[in-house]
Structure 1
Amino acid sequence: MPIHEDKRCPRCSNVFECKAGSIAQCDCSKIVLSLEERAFIEDKYKDCLCLNCLKDLKNKYVFFKEKYFG
């Protein structure tokens, strides 16, 4: 049986359910991140983030990339 656990997002402190035992059902599988976006996020956070924070950081990376490299 897949293991799910409640986690606290290290960015916003909201509690969310991590479904690493069934990754296809996990919220993080609902967002597509490029390798650069993943590196941008992994540079700042070492644990799972909630879906809202993942979406926000993806948008921040796009803004950063357009501002400084676009």
Structure 2
Amino acid sequence: MDNLSTQSLHSCPRCHRSFECTPTSAAGCVCFQFKIPPQVANFIKANFDSCLCPACLTELIEASN
């Protein structure tokens, strides 16, 4: 996810829901809470310009199993 900003409120490019993520804080990016399989990470990189919300990450990870 190359286009991370320092803002904490983001809009998910997949579902357009708002979610909080602070990639520059000690808590880190919301993505760090997930074990994202390589195929899912590659799909996200190929199809989206920024991080996805936790709900979309969960859906994509579960669908890859």
- TM-score, normalised on structure 2? 0.72
Corresponding residue for 2:44? 41
Q: Which has the larger radius of gyration?
A: 1
Identity rate, percent: 32
Higher relative contact order (CA 8 A, sep 6+): 2
* Structure 2: stretches of 5+ with no match in the other structure: 1-5
Question: How far apart are residue 12 of structure 1 and its match?
Answer: 1.0
- TM-score, normalised on structure 1? 0.68
RMSD: 1.8
Runs of 4+ in 1 over 4 A off after TM superposition: none
Q: Does 1:60 align with 2:63?
A: yes
* Structure 1: stretches of 5+ with no match in the other structure: 63-70
